[in-house]
């Protein structure tokens, strides 16, 4: 298996632009998680899905952030409009079921100028 796939690996954009991050979970995994990691705040859970349904989005910082999971093999995290303070590494992880490890993707390093 290829593992969790994220794209792009690096994104540099200007303040005000829309940013879309993409994730392909491991086939057969039922849960998908989006995290943000910064030096200031560490690893933060933004939102997670189970069987493509959002379960908890209380970690999403603002209305500028939205996430979708249209099918079991694809999810997006969108920031519109982006701001410099959104600069971070965004990780996607998937898990086959509860009480099981989460498998992390390589992350997307986002820089908003």
Chain contacts with other proteins (rule: CB under 8 A): 4, 31, 33, 38-43, 45, 48, 50, 55-56, 91, 93, 95, 97-107
DSSP string, 17-46: --EEEEEEPPTT--EEEEEEEETTTEEEEE
Cβ-based nearer residue to other proteins, 2 or 40: 40
Cβ-based nearer residue to other proteins, 43 or 113: 43
- 85: its two tokens: 């303070």
Shortest Cβ 38–other proteins spacing (Å): 8
Shortest Cβ 89–other proteins spacing (Å): 9
Shortest Cβ 48–other proteins spacing (Å): 6
Cβ-based nearer residue to other proteins, 12 or 80: 12
- Smallest Cα–Cα separation from 106: which of 92, 88, 86? 92
Cβ-based nearer residue to other proteins, 18 or 83: 83
DSSP string, 65-91: EEEEEEETTEEEEEESS--GGG-EEEE
Q: How many residues does the chain have?
A: 113
């Amino acid at each position: 298996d290829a593992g969790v796939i994220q794209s792009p690996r690096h994104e540099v954009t200007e303040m005000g632009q829309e940013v879309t991050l993409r994730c392909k979970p491991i086939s057969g995994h039922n849960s998908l998680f989006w995290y943000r990691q910064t030096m200031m705040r560490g690893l933060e859970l933004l939102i997670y899905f189970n069987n493509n349904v959002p379960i908890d989005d209380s970690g999403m910082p603002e209305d500028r952030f939205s996430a979708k999971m249209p099918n079991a093999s694809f999810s997006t995290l969108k920031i519109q409009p982006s701001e410099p303070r959104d600069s971070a590494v965004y990780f996607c992880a998937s898990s086959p079921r509860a009480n099981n490890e989460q498998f992390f993707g390589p992350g997307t390093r986002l820089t908003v100028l």
